[in-house]
Chains A and B, each alone.
Chain A
Amino acid sequence: MTLEGDPVALDCSNGWPPAAVERLTAGTAVEITGPVLTLRDASAARLARALEAGEAAPVALRGRVLYAVGPSPAKPGQVIGSAGPTTTARMARYLPALFEAGVRAVIGKGELHGPDMAAFTGPGALYFAAIGGLGALLARRVTAASVVAYEDLGAEAVFELYLERFPAVVVIDSGGRNLHQEARSSWRQRS
């Protein structure tokens, strides 16, 4: 696990996969630069329903990175309000449809195991965790924000965000390793 040292720069402003993708294994700290689409309970459900009904998604998903977040409203002068990650597992049931539509990676927080993890390893998608509760610091790494679909969902609308050196950690890598699983077994103390 790459737990120390400088984070790997992932520049996906020209699409996915970024140049450094080969170096990513569970535990690698990264800084992501480029556009992402936001994902929430309500928007994920609506997107997956549309795709499963054979309709076109309101926004192109091929080669995209999703970020599980429902930002708080921007104060005057801010690009976005607080914007830390939300729990990915709540949206896990919708991810297979989104991966099939071309999504390549998800940024969120929390654990994914069993079938939720298999949803990633099957299509070779990557799962990154950002730090939950880091809303204000992470908002500073968002340089542009606009609603691109489902505006009626408020904070749960699909936003396109442009990230600039957004800090995260690889949780599920392409080799099927899972940081949360490994971390528990290496740090657990037997009594």
Chain B
Amino acid sequence: MDFLTAAGIWGIVVLVVINTVLVMRMKVTIAGEEDEGDEKRCAGM
């Protein structure tokens, strides 16, 4: 298998690893989540 063909397979692996590292270091927030939580609690969910 030549380099560029193998790069396709390894390219997917590298993308997935980069994504994982990126998201792990990221602070993911959902704006207004606290208000939603209150609403759900009030609704008895």
Tell whether A and B belong to one assembly: no
Q: A residues touching B (Cβ–Cβ < 8 Å)?
A: none
